[in-house]
């Protein structure tokens, strides 16, 4: 059974946005020490996930392991649920973008303007069709990388490696985010009287 997409003007969505804004205001109102602790956990999650992703990426594709680190950084969010959502958007968008980029290359070749425009249009429509507008941004970036960035070797390798690096970075961010969220809960529980 599939879930129905929730329209952005749905009252529940508006309440969630107001709640998120209220939580953001509450975080800014915390004493400096508590804000620094939250920032330290965010910094630790980002640093560890990016470094692990980069290190593992060296084994997958040493010349461009930085894409795994960039993905880990882009996906890491303050809350694990947000990291999970950002990871889903990034992997889905990258997969759609890789496919659209390859199709664009098949239609017109590397750097060909009309083929790029068609591929970009297609990845955006595909992302919105599966109710994931955030993936459209990532998909467009991946399409541009596959079609416009000069590369040596077959273009399918560019798309495949990019997807593998993004999945690796996302996986690292999810694992580290989950582990740090558990640690953060314990520290917060012990720090509050």
Helix, strand, or coil (residue 63): helix
Q: Where are the domains of the chain?
A: 11-191
Q: How far, in Å, CA of 21 to CA of 80, rounded? A: 18
What's the pLDDT score for residue 61? 80
What's the pLDDT score for residue 13? 77
CA 77 to chain centre: 10
What's the pLDDT score for residue 56? 96
Task: Give Cβ neighbours of residue 178 (< 8 Å, ≥ 6 apart).
Answer: 80
Q: Which two tokens stand for residue 108?
A: 């017109």
DSSP 152: S
Task: Give Cβ neighbours of residue 191 (< 8 Å, ≥ 6 apart).
Answer: 37
Where are the alpha helices (H) located in the chain, listed in sequence order? 11-29, 32-60, 66-75, 80-107, 113-129, 133-148, 155-191
- Quick check: 146 and 97 in contact, CB under 8 A? yes
- Quick check: 41 and 180 in contact, CB under 8 A? yes
What's the pLDDT score for residue 10? 77
What's the pLDDT score for residue 7? 63
Q: How far, in Å, CA of 38 to CA of 69, rounded? A: 22
- Kindly report the pTM of this predicted structure: 0.79
pLDDT in tens, the chain (193 residues): 445 555 667 788 788 888 888 888 887 888 888 888 888 989 999 999 999 999 999 988 888 899 999 999 999 998 898 999 999 999 999 999 999 999 998 888 888 899 999 999 999 999 888 877 888 899 999 999 889 888 777 888 888 888 999 999 999 999 999 999 998 888 778 776 5
Per the rule left: phi > 0, alpha: psi between -120 and 50, beta: everything else, 109 is: left
Q: How far, in Å, CA of 136 to CA of 142, rounded? A: 10
Nearest CA among 62, 86, 177, 172 for reference residue 137: 86
């Amino acid at each position: 059974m599939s879930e129905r997409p929730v329209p952005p003007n749905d009252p529940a969505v508006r309440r969630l946005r107001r709640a998120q804004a209220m939580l953001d205001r509450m975080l800014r109102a915390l004493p400096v020490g508590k804000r620094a602790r939250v920032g330290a956990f965010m910094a630790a999650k980002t640093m560890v996930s990016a470094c692990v992703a980069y290190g593992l990426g060296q084994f997958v594709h040493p010349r461009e392991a930085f894409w795994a680190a960039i993905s880990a950084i882009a996906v890491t969010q303050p809350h694990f649920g947000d990291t999970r959502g950002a990871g889903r958007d990034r992997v889905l968008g990258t997969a759609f973008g890789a496919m659209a980029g390859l199709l664009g290359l098949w239609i017109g070749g590397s750097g060909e303007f009309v083929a790029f425009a068609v591929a970009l249009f297609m990845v955006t429509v595909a992302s919105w069709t599966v109710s994931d507008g955030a993936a459209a941004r990532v998909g467009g970036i991946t399409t541009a990388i596959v079609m416009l960035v000069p590369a040596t070797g077959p273009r399918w390798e560019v798309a495949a490696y990019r997807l593998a690096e993004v999945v690796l970075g996302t996986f690292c961010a999810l694992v580290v985010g989950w582990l740090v969220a558990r640690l953060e809960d314990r520290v917060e529980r012990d720090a509050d009287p």
